[in-house]
Chains A and B, each alone.
Chain A
Amino acid sequence: MQSIAHIFRVYGILAWLVTTFLLALANGSAAEESTLRVGVPLLLQPPDPVIGGFNAVNTGLAETLFKLGRDLQPEPWLATGARRLDGHSWELTLQQGVQFHNGTLMDAAAVKASLERAVAKSPTAKVLLDIARLEVKAPFTLTITTNQPTLLMPAMLAEPTSAIVDATAAQSMGNAFTEMPILTGPFKIERFQQDKEWVVVRHKAYWGPPPLVDRVRFVVLPDNISRVLALQSGDIDIAHYLAPESVATVQGTSHLAVVAAAPVALEYMYLNHRREPWNDARVRAAIALAINREALVQGVMQGQGTVATGPFPSAVLGCNQLQGPPYDPAQAKQLLGQAGYQDNDSDGFVEKEGQMLTMTLVTYRQRPELVPIAEAIQASLKTIGIKVAVRMVENINTALEQRDWDGGLYFSNMATTGDPYWALSQFFLSGGPANRGGFSSPRIDALTHQVGQAADRQAREHLACAASQAIIDEVAVVPLLSPIFNYGVSKHVVGFDAPHPFFLYFLDSKIGKR
Chain B
Amino acid sequence: MQTYLARRLLFLPGLLVGISLISFSLLNLAPGDPAEILLRLQQPGAEAPREAVLALRQALHLDDPLPLRYGRWLYGAVHGDLGTSYRSGKSILHELGQRLPATLLLAVASLAMALALSLPLGIGAAVWRGSPLDGLSRCLGLLGTSVPSYVLALTLMWLLAVKLHWLPAIGYGDPQHLVLPALTLGAGVSASLMRLTRASLLDVLAQDYVRTARAKGVREGTVIGAHALKSALLPVVTVLGMSLGHLLGGAVIVETIFGWPGVGKYAVDAIFLRDYPVIQGFVLYMAVIFLCINLAVDLAYRWLDPRLHFGRQAT
Question: A-side interface residues toward B, CB under 8 Å?
Answer: 1-4, 7-8, 11, 15, 22-23, 25-27, 29, 39, 42, 44-46, 51-54, 122-124, 126-128, 160-161, 175, 178-179, 193-197, 219-223, 225-226, 229-230, 232-236, 265, 394-395, 397-398, 411-413, 416, 426, 433-434
B56 at the interface (CB under 8 A from A): yes
Within 8 A of A (CB), among B10-50: 31-33, 36-37, 39-50
The distance from the CB of B250 to the nearest CB of chain A, in whole angstroms, is: 12
A-B interface, 10 closest residue pairs, ranked by CB to CB distance from nearest: A123-B52, A413-B45, A3-B221, A196-B261, A127-B49, A26-B176, A233-B169, A233-B161, A230-B169, A123-B55
Stretch at the interface among B86-94, B236-244, B292-300: B86-94
Closest Cβ of chain A to B32, distance in Å, is 5
Q: Point out the residue from B32, B87, B95 that lies within 8 Å of A398, measured CB to CB.
A: B32
Query: In the complex the two chains form, is B169's CB within 8 Å of A45's CB?
Result: no
CB-contact partner of B43 in A23, A233, A416, under 8 A:
A416
Per the bound structure, the CA–CA distance linking A485 and B77 in Å amounts to: 44
Closest B residue by C-beta to A18: B116
Pick from A1, A123, A175, A194: contact of B95, CB under 8 Å: A194
With A45-B88, A54-B42, A178-B88 as known contacts, state yes or no: A229 contacts B259, CB within 8 Å.
no
Which residues from chain A contact B31 at a C-beta distance below 8 Å?
395, 398
Residues of B within 8 A of A220 (CB): 259
Does any Cβ of A come within 8 Å of B219's Cβ?
yes
Q: Among the listed A44, A178, A219, A232, which residue makes an inter-chain contact with B259, where contact means beta carbons less than 8 Å apart?
A: A219
Is B53 interfacial (CB-CB < 8 Å)?
yes
Contact status A394-B272, CB under 8 Å:
yes
Contact call A23/B51, Cβ cutoff below 8 A: no
15 extra A-B contacts, CB within 8 A, seeds A233-B168, A235-B161, A265-B45: A4-B127, A4-B220, A4-B221, A22-B175, A29-B168, A53-B43, A160-B43, A179-B90, A194-B95, A196-B172, A219-B259, A222-B256, A235-B168, A395-B31, A412-B46
B73 at the interface (CB under 8 A from A): no
Given contacts A2-B221, A413-B43, contact A223 B257 (CB under 8 A): yes
User: Which one, A4, A26, A232, A235, contacts B224 given CB within 8 A?
Assistant: A4
Chain B window 91-114, contacts with chain A (Cβ cutoff 8 Å), 1 for yes, 0 for no: 000010010000000000000000
Q: Please tell me if B284 contacts chain A, counting CB pairs below 8 Å.
A: no
* 22 A-B residue pairs with CB within 8 Å: A3-B220, A8-B120, A11-B120, A22-B176, A22-B179, A25-B175, A45-B41, A46-B89, A51-B88, A123-B49, A123-B51, A123-B53, A175-B90, A195-B266, A225-B257, A229-B154, A233-B162, A233-B165, A235-B168, A235-B171, A416-B45, A434-B47
Answer whether residue B157 sits at the interface, using C-beta atoms and an 8 A cutoff. yes
Contacts of A226 in B (CB 8 A): 154, 157, 169-170, 256-259
Nearest chain B CB to A322 CB, angstrom units? 22
In the bound complex, how far is the Cα of B257 from the Cα of A229, in angstroms?
10
Whether the pair A221, B261 counts as a contact (CB closer than 8 A) is no
A1 to B179, CA, bound (A): 33
B89, B162, B176: the one contacting A232 at CB < 8 Å is B162
For B141-185 the 0/1 string (1 means CB < 8 A from A) is 000000000000010011001100111111110111001000000
Shortest distance in angstroms between A251's beta carbon and chain B's nearest beta carbon? 16
Q: B41 contacts which of A23, A44, A195, A394 (Cβ < 8 Å)?
A: A44
Contact (Cβ within 8 A) A426 B219: no
Contact call A126/B52, Cβ cutoff below 8 A: yes
CA gap between A246 and B104 in the complex, in Å: 33
Q: Are B37 and A426 in contact (CB under 8 A)?
A: no
- The reply on B269 being an interface residue by CB < 8 A is yes
Docked Cα-Cα span, A497 to B278, in Å, equals 41
Chain A residues contacting B261 (CB-CB under 8 Å) are 193, 195-197
Listed residue (A178, A194, A225, A233) with the most chain B CB atoms within 10 angstroms of its CB: A233
Q: Which residues of B contact A232 (CB under 8 A)?
A: 162, 169
A39–B259 alpha-carbon span in the complex (Å)? 10
Chain B residues near A426 (CB-CB < 8 A)? 47
Q: Which residues of A are found within 8 Å of B172, using beta-carbon distances?
A: 196
CB neighbours (8 Å) of A225 from chain B are 154, 257
Q: What per-residue 1/0 map shows which CB atoms of B223-259 lie under 8 Å from chain A?
A: 0110000000000000000000000000000001111
B272 surroundings in chain A (CB, below 8 A):
394
Q: Which residue of chain B lies nearest to A2 when distances are taken between CB atoms in the complex? A: B221
Asked whether, in the complex, the Cβ of A46 is within 8 Å of the Cβ of B88, the reply is yes
Contacts of A29 in B (CB 8 A): 168, 174, 176
B46-69 vs A, Cβ < 8 Å mask (1 yes, 0 no): 111111110110000000000000
The reply to whether A124 and B116 contact each other, CB–CB distance below 8 Å, is no
